[in-house]
Amino acid sequence: MKFRANLVIGGVLFAAVVVAGTFAPFLAHTDPVMDANLMNAEIPPGSEFWFGTDAQGRDIYSRVLHGARISLTVGIVSQLINTVIGVALGLSAGYWGGWWDDLVSGLTNMMLAIPSLIFALAIMAILSPGLTSLLIALGLTNWSYTCRLSRASTLSLKNQGYVQAAKVLGYSDIRIMVTQILPNILGPIIVIGTLGMGGAVLAEAALSFLGLGIRPPFPSWGSMLSDARDQITTAPWISVFPGLAIFVTVLGLNLLGDGLRDILDPQSRARRA
């Protein structure tokens, strides 16, 4: 079935990127930063340099592998931050309602009205470029989607019989939200988190391309694309391979999220059948 194909293909692609990033020090041929040799500048892909070399004579294959570690770190950590913030706000707003719900809903609508990349650019302009600043910027920009989903799901569940039974048993509000409601809304949250990781990888590449993310010479796919702008016609392999790495990673995450959505949401699978 289609959803199984999406799940398998996406899982394989994402697993390949995870393996490449995790074992980059063992799979790479050279050091991605220190092993620069102008005598080897702009060598096309071949048996010695599989992906060729850049303008500084660094092995692009090694830099792409180490760039996977940065992209995965940014994607996973920033999405975890987004998920924690979004679930905490959405779950509490949907359950408690009242002025807290109005406040969270207003803040969510305000965040949805601001382009996430523009907001991340503003944060990065205040903070100094680097991995920590990048995680903070991306971790504070995309929680609104998770918040809205969590709130809507909580509103539909808080009056269910098992939630009312927990109240009768004397469970606290926090305990009810964590043990009774949260497990029943995890499916959509997992899906939106998986898809959000792909967006975080793209955002990291965009910010690094603009010089506000990971600074050279550290191997970020976005900064590698930025460095390759002047050689795009004379040495296209310098930009092709980091661009292909971004494409494969985001495609894998999107297919994986699509497959998970069909598994965790039977109604979605029925509509596609």
Give the chain's residues under pLDDT 70: 1-3, 265-273
Those residues whose C-beta lies under 8 Å from the C-beta of residue 123, and which sit 6 or more positions away, are 133, 136, 137, 140, 141
The whole-number pLDDT of residue 270 equals 47
The whole-number pLDDT of residue 231 equals 84
Give the predicted TM-score (pTM) of the model. Answer: 0.86
> Would the CA dihedral through 7, 10, 16, 18 be positive or negative?
negative
Strand, helix or coil at 49? coil
72-110 per-position pLDDT tens digit: 899 899 999 999 999 999 999 999 989 999 999 999 999
The string over 165-183, giving b where at least 16 C-beta atoms fall within 10 Å of a residue's C-beta and e elsewhere, is ebeeeebeeeebbeebbbe
- Spacing of C-alpha 69 from chain mean position: 13
Alpha carbons 8 and 168: distance in angstroms, whole number: 44
